[in-house]
Chain A
Amino acid sequence: MAQMTMIQAITNALDLELARDNNILVFGEDVGQNGGVFRATDGLQKKYGKDRVFDTPLAESGIAGLAVGLAMQGMRPVAEIQFFGFVFEAMDEIAGQATRMRYRTNGRFSCPLVIRSPFGGGVKTPEMHADSLEGLFLQTPGCRVVIPSNPYDAKGLLISAIRDNDPVIFLEHMKLYRSMRMEVPDEAYTVPLDKANVVREGSDLTVIAYGAMVHTALKAADELEKTKGVKAEVIDLRSINPIDIDTIVASIKKTHRAVVVQEAQRSAGVAAEVIAQINEHAIYHLEGPVLRITPPDTVYPFAMIEDEWIPTPQRVLAGLDKALSL
């Protein structure tokens, strides 16, 4: 066991998988010699050679299309989109091509590929770097979307993603890259791609979050217990496509109230989908409406006001108070 940051856990997962299977390829902009702009692929080209860990020309559709072509011919590409805000450039190759290959060919060809990409706010990036665009891929049939909130999950989920035989979008919140260290086993292990995790037990209210918002929700839950003695249960979704509704329903049966926290703007996203599924599966267990705590329906703001735009522990706490009062 070693203490690792999330970025170290990701590098470690890539390293172990590259060693396990020669068909695994890691590529993207600056991932080779430079080891990635966040050093996620640091040292991997030196260790595994330029045929397996390599730089690509600077073109996101080209990167994703390269991955589709490689995956279709039996390779296991792990492609990096340098910042997820650039994914619009690659939308057709991911959402129009990779996710449809198995269906189109009735399984004759498939796309066992991983798109890794940093995203998330609070680190003062220029435009199109921090946006939470995961909702686009919640509406995309044929792929899985996972978002780890800590180093242990990051390693286990990435290994699962690489071993999965369908496309997986693997989103890495930039603010979590180096914000915490955690005991991470040295050997390879997997965390399932479709199971949420109860990260704080509670009996009075369920808070559903993912990515960096898990930590914001935990802070708010701690404050709520300290100030009011109310015990909130916090669920880390880990996967937003598919959503593990069973874990959510089990919690709501205990707490009878729920709030969803997300960093993406409000409408038609993960929170909306979670609430729709709660409506289908657990409405009679609820004592009040399920609220969403989100930024407003605007574009991601320029850096100067991003910290006010992203839900803060105070805003989440106010939301929890409101949910308890309804």
Chain B
Amino acid sequence: MSTILEPSKVTPFRQVLDPTGKVVNPDLLPDLKDEDLRELMRRMVFIRVMDQRAIKLTRQGRLGFYAPVAGQEASMIGSEYATNRDDFILPGYRDIPQLLFHGWPMYQWILFSRGHQHGSDMPKDTHFLMPQIIIGAQYVQTAGTALAFKLKGEKRVAITYTGDGGTSQGDFYEGINFAGAFHVPAVFIVQNNQFAISVPVQLQTAAETLAQKAVAAGIPGVQVDGNDILAVYAVVKEAVDRARAGGGPTLIEAVTFRFGPHTMSGDDPTRYRTKELEGEWEQKDPLVRFRSYLQAKDLWSDKDEEAAMEESKEAFNDALKKADATPKMTIPGLIDSMFEVLPDSLKAQRAEYSDKEEA
């Protein structure tokens, strides 16, 4: 029988550490100093603690919209660590950790979660958008952002994120296709956490991997163990460096799993995934794996762990205080932010709201 029509796996899978923290691919070990390795661990612990706290605060009504991140720390933190500060991130709605380490003040994230405009009024010296709610919209914007860098001759890269569900969007294809056609400095990351809310990736596509979707766009695609922070860093670093050097865009699929629910708005994972599956992924916890690796190298102690946890708690407390002290946004303020120059009709509507509300 002819095999011409048989689909085949066309993208590589990258892993550096196995789930026990043992190096299985020494050739791929990234060139990171001990201090960088410790920093990666510190950030993962910081985020794991922050996530637990955010979940509690959401239940208490002190946070608004929140999509838990536990389980995905390696793909989030490892990928962001591979970027430069002036590289531009176009995140999906779950990608809070990357933004926090790319310069988003934590209190502004809290305000964003609560639905306050100041949350996404990013500080002047930072380079990212607030989380995107439409699943594929940021992919096409990334092509445009990267084209701007290319046309201006800036050595910057646009990095974007979506999930497994996002790869079904038309904008996903349009984004990677435009980026390929214009050969722009962009890195497209898919965090495949196995479920788009409740729909498993197997129902999302007949494609064996999500990375292979790069083939149709004519750009490199690679699948990486998204729970292996060293592999994520290595793959993203290479893609970012290549993009910066004029080598064009890359699609990266980070294979991972979210331990918690989709969001804190009533999602119940027991309706769509088994305890067995959750147990399998707990064995691949990105923190456990990297901690074992560092401990074997004598680079991480219980004291370090406690310090990182404490730091996270304190940062969250300070951020909450600052967020609580921020004045509420106003209707006149909202109207003013619609245009650079307000049309007369909107000026008239603005006048319908009292000065009291403005103050």
Interface residue ranges, A against B (CB under 8 Å) = 25, 51, 56-57, 59, 61-62, 64-75, 77, 92-93, 96-97, 102-110, 141-142, 144, 164-166, 194, 242-243, 245-246
Classify chain B's interface size. 35 or more
Q: Assess whether B178 is in contact with A105, with CB atoms less than 8 Å apart.
A: no
Tell me if B130 counts as interface (CB < 8 A to partner A). Answer: yes
Chain A residues with Cβ below 8 Å from B192 are none
- Which of A65, A107, A164, A165 makes the CB contact (< 8 A) with B337? A107
* The residue from B145, B151, B334, B344 contacting A72, defined by CB atoms under 8 A apart: B145
Cα–Cα distance between A68 and B341 once the two chains are bound (Å): 19
Contact status A65-B122, CB under 8 Å:
no
A142 contact set on B, CB distance < 8 A: 338-339
Residues from chain A with a CB closer than 8 A to the CB of B178 are: 56-57, 59, 62, 65-66
Contacts of B145 in A (CB 8 A): 69-70, 72-73
Is A166's CB under 8 angstroms from B140's CB?
A: no
Q: Which residues of A contact B355 (CB under 8 A)?
A: none
Asked whether A166 and B122 contact (CB < 8 A) given A70-B145, A75-B151, A97-B137, the answer is no
A97 contacts across to B, CB distance below 8 A: 134, 137, 141
The answer to whether A93 touches B140 (Cβ under 8 A) is: yes
Known: A65-B174, A66-B178, A243-B345. A102 touches B141 (CB 8 A): no
Check A51–B151 contact: CB distance below 8 A: yes
Docked pose: A74 CA to B175 CA in angstroms: 20
- Given the known inter-chain contacts A59-B178, A66-B178, please indicate yes or no for A246 contacting B337, CB distance below 8 A: no
Main secondary structure on chain B at its contact with chain A? helix
Mask: chain B, 171-196; 1 = CB below 8 Å from A; 0 = not: 10011011001000000000000000
Q: In the complex, are the beta carbons of A242 and B345 less than 8 A apart?
A: yes
Known: A74-B148, A106-B117, A108-B121. A57 touches B137 (CB 8 A): no
Nearest Cβ in chain A — how far from B170, in angstroms? 6
Q: How many A-B residue pairs have CB under 8 A?
A: 138
The reply to whether B344 and A194 contact each other, CB–CB distance below 8 Å, is yes
Contact call B122/A105, Cβ cutoff below 8 A: yes
A66-B141, A69-B158 known; 5 other A-B pairs, CB under 8 Å? A61-B170, A65-B175, A75-B152, A104-B120, A245-B345
What's the least CB distance linking A114 to chain B, in Å? 14
Query: Given the complex, which residues of B lie within 8 Å of A165, measured CB to CB?
Result: 340-341
The verdict on B144 contacting chain A, using a C-beta distance below 8 Å, is yes
Determine whether B346 belongs to the interface, using a CB cutoff of 8 Å to chain A: yes
Q: When chains A and B are docked, how far (Å) is the Cα of A92 from the Cα of B140?
A: 11
Residue of B nearest to A59 (CB): B174
Shortest Cβ distance from residue A153 to the other chain B in the assembled complex, whole angstroms: 18
- B175, A62: Cβ atoms under 8 Å? yes
Query: Is B146 in contact with chain A by the CB < 8 A criterion?
Result: yes
In the bound complex, residues from chain A placing their C-beta under 8 Å from that of B124 are 108
Q: Known: A61-B171, A67-B144. Is A109-B338 also a contact (CB below 8 A)?
A: no
Bound together, the chains give a CA A102 to CA B130 distance in angstroms of: 12
User: Closest residue of chain B to A243, judged by CB?
Assistant: B345
Name the B residues within 8 Å of A166 (CB-CB).
Answer: 339-341
Which residues from chain B contact A92 at a C-beta distance below 8 Å?
A: 134, 137, 171
